[in-house]
Amino acid sequence: MSEIIHTKLLVVGGGPGGYVAAIRAGQLGLDTVLVENDKLGGTCLIRGCIPSKAIIHVAGEFETMARAAAKPRHGISLKNAPTVDMAETVRWKEIIVGKLNSGVAVLLKRAKVRVVNGWANFTDAKTCTVTSAAGEPVTIHAEHVILANGSLPVELPLLPFGGPVISSTEALSLDQLPKRLVVVGAGYIGLELGIAFRKLGAEVTVVEALGQILPLYDAPLVEPVRKWLERHGVTLHLNAKAKELVTGKGGVSLAVETKDGQTLQFPADKILVTVGRKPNTDGWGLENMAIDMGGRFVKVDDQCRTSMKNVWAVGDLVGEPMLEHKAAKQGEMVAEIIAGEKRRFNPASIAAVCFTEPEVVSAGLLPTDAAAKAVKTITAMFPFAANGRALSMDAGDEGGFVRVLAREDDHRILGIQAVGAHVSEISAEFALALEMGALLEDVAGTIHVHPTLSEAFHEASLRALGHAIHI
């Protein structure tokens, strides 16, 4: 006889949307069950943000040493070139993932959330059966359901995953460095990993169907990244389409149609396909739940309600941007709504970071956005080349800057972008400024610590007001 669980709240998916919802629900005293088939933590923690940042960190260290070995640098020289043991790197990454993963488990336990391991399959909107290799199936009936099923890498029809064709998931667990890596798709995932592998010594070719890398951003913002690729010998093919895998004598290569109609072949040990992610809507009974879809996503309102009463959905499943911090905020909010609080999802901005070289941050509107063009605006940027801290980190010559966009009439800040080393860490100030409704005068009137990168935000705001000091 299989077990039947009756619960107030069922959360499906142990990623940031799901586990945050479950913890918050537990804190609020709701009887909560969380179902996850894999380890807790979701894409972000297990095969996304965190593992990639670990690999990127290792790649950065390796590159610094390799440069010192090639040529003494700032007084440091190395006799021998460094080597990297990818299997060991991946093991170290797994330790970090393991720590965070068990941390989530502890937090859930402390919040009195029951975690059921297995694959949930819905038979109707409030009932699912959880099957796992380990034991008997469990049936769960819930008053409220939060769907946090996340997303999956998009596969190209002519280039299915398998063999040398890998997704970001496999790229983060390679036990050997691919000598030749072809990256299909110059979005942030492809570039972050492509750059990391380049730093580790792989020959990297990037193929992008559109005319620009990081196509979501404007050209000046991504220019320092493009320049880095150029300087470090990453071959970039824009307006080029990946066609198919060609197997020849010397191994496999990827056939690519370039913008002028030529077909080129790039020999590759691995082909990393990063052309986006899609909501995970198949294989768990969504079709039995009578829930309305909005395109390929589950349709929700500004409280993350689906069309079915008391069924909620959060995170990558409900739309762009597919970002951890959005999912977590939505999860937290839904738990509070179920507990009777009045909430809605109404952020001023959801900032995004690319951990490329250099890093890119964008919060709020870009100057190229229609909403920004609809009003009169002021744009001002401040280069890191004029920032002491950036120079002291050898990060002044890569073309980085902070840029602020504000309404001309009342000076409210509409958007803030930055590109440069370590700018991810000043993204929170950008988000805070936008959420608090800061004006240029507010940032100008805030004393920023010297010497830090954040001074560039202060100076950009001063410059927008017409009186920058250090430029």
Cis amide linkage into residue 451, ω under 30° from 0 = yes
Question: Which x/- pattern, by CB under 8 A, does the window 252-291 give for other proteins?
Answer: ----------------------------------------
In the complex, least distance from residue 19 CB atom to other proteins, rounded to whole angstroms: 23
Options 7-15, 175-183, 202-210, 431-439: segment touching other proteins (CB under 8 A): 431-439
> What is the rounded distance in angstroms from the CA atom of residue 245 to the CA atom of residue 333?
45
Estimate the share of the chain in helix, then strand, then coil, as percent rounded to the nearest 5: 35, 30, 40
Would the CA dihedral through 224, 230, 233, 234 be positive or negative? positive
**Considering 232, 448, 450, 458, which one is annotated as catalytic?**
450
| 297-298 vs 165-166, strand pairing mode | unpaired
Question: Which x/- pattern, by CB under 8 A, does the window 388-407 give for other proteins?
Answer: -------------x---x-x
Q: What is the DSSP letter of 353?
A: E
User: Apex CA 129: angle with CA 150 and CA 1, to 5°?
Assistant: 155
In the complex, least distance from residue 8 CB atom to other proteins, rounded to whole angstroms: 23
| 418, 403 Cβ separation under 8 angstroms | yes
Interacting positions 361-380 with other proteins (CB under 8 A): 367-368, 373, 375-380
Interacting positions 329-358 with other proteins (CB under 8 A): 341-344, 346-348
In the complex, least distance from residue 364 CB atom to other proteins, rounded to whole angstroms: 12
Residue 463 in the binding site for other proteins (CB under 8 A): yes
CB-nearer residue toward other proteins: 138 or 380? 380
Residue 226 in the binding site for other proteins (CB under 8 A): no
In the complex, least distance from residue 403 CB atom to other proteins, rounded to whole angstroms: 9
In the complex, least distance from residue 216 CB atom to other proteins, rounded to whole angstroms: 15
Choosing from 31, 152, 465, 470, the residue that interacts with other proteins (CB under 8 A) is 465
Options 33-41, 85-93, 232-240, 439-447: segment touching other proteins (CB under 8 A): 439-447
CB-nearer residue toward other proteins: 111 or 380? 380
CB-nearer residue toward other proteins: 126 or 329? 329
CB-nearer residue toward other proteins: 244 or 341? 341
3-state SS, residue 128: strand
Choosing from 383, 396, 415, 420, the residue that interacts with other proteins (CB under 8 A) is 383
Residue 112 in the binding site for other proteins (CB under 8 A): no
Backbone angles phi, psi at 430, to 5 degrees: -65, -50
> What is the rounded distance in angstroms from the CA atom of residue 357 to the CA atom of residue 4?
51
> What is the rounded distance in angstroms from the CA atom of residue 217 to the CA atom of residue 344?
28
Question: Which x/- pattern, by CB under 8 A, does the window 181-220 give for other proteins?
Answer: -------------------------------------xxx
| 297-298 vs 293-294, strand pairing mode | antiparallel
Nearest to 54 by CA among 99, 106, 14: 99
Annotated catalytic, 450?
yes
- C-alpha neighbours within 13 Å on the C-beta side of residue 34: 35
Backbone angles phi, psi at 29, to 5 degrees: 85, 15
CB-nearer residue toward other proteins: 81 or 436? 436
3-state SS, residue 212: coil
In the complex, least distance from residue 468 CB atom to other proteins, rounded to whole angstroms: 6
3-state SS, residue 163: coil
CB-nearer residue toward other proteins: 228 or 284? 228
Interacting positions 120-179 with other proteins (CB under 8 A): none
Backbone angles phi, psi at 385, to 5 degrees: -60, -20
Choosing from 109, 408, 425, 469, the residue that interacts with other proteins (CB under 8 A) is 408
> What is the rounded distance in angstroms from the CA atom of residue 344 to the CA atom of residue 347?
9
79 C-beta neighbours (distance < 10 Å), count: 5
Choosing from 85, 397, 409, 425, the residue that interacts with other proteins (CB under 8 A) is 409
Residue 436 in the binding site for other proteins (CB under 8 A): yes
| 406, 377 Cβ separation under 8 angstroms | yes
In the complex, least distance from residue 407 CB atom to other proteins, rounded to whole angstroms: 7
466 C-beta neighbours (distance < 10 Å), count: 9
Cis amide linkage into residue 347, ω under 30° from 0 = no
Q: What residues are annotated to the active site? A: 450
Positions that interact with other proteins (CB under 8 A):
218-220, 341-344, 346-348, 367-368, 373, 375-381, 383, 401, 405, 407-412, 435-437, 439, 441-442, 463-468
